[in-house]
């Protein structure tokens, strides 16, 4: 299924695990069998694959876009960190 398929409908509140395979071997059969949904990034032209970091960026950007507009939230990010949570992360990772 394409990452951009409107039937995917990521929920802003549902738990989500993302698995990414590398360019050479992809994901194991065991990993694929454990998934509820397998999506791919549509490719055009002569490109056969994307670098893993590029793939992660594309998927996260689309996930954010879909979650931003999920459940009629429009511009509101229902899963955005509170100021208190943000400050805690800054304390933990900035030192």
Q: How far apart are the first and last CA of the chain?
A: 42
4-24 pLDDT tens trace: 777 776 665 677 888 998 777
**Opening angle at CA 80, ends 1 and 90, nearest 5:** 120
pLDDT for the residue 73: 58
pLDDT tens readout for residues 40-52: 888 888 877 788 8
Range 71-76 average pLDDT = 57
Predicted confidence at residue 57, as pLDDT, reads 93
Determine the average pLDDT of the residues in 42-68: 84
Asked if 27 and 19 touch (Cβ cutoff 8 Å), the reply is yes
Q: Please give the model's pTM, rounded to 2 decimal places.
A: 0.64
Please provide the DSSP assignment of 9-54 as one string. ---SSS-------BTTTBS-HHHHHH-S---B----TT-----HHH
What is the sign, positive or negative, of the torsion defined by CA atoms of 78, 82, 87, 93? negative
């Amino acid at each position: 299924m394409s990452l951009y398929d409107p039937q995917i409908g990521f929920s802003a509140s549902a738990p989500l695990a993302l698995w990414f395979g590398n360019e050479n071997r992809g994901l194991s059969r065991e990993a694929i069998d454990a998934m509820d949904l397998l999506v791919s990034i549509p490719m055009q032209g002569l490109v056969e694959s994307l670098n893993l970091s590029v793939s992660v960026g594309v998927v996260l950007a689309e996930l954010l876009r879909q979650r931003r507009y999920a459940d009629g939230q429009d511009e509101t990010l229902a899963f955005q960190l509170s100021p208190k949570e943000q400050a805690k992360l800054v304390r933990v990772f900035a030192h």
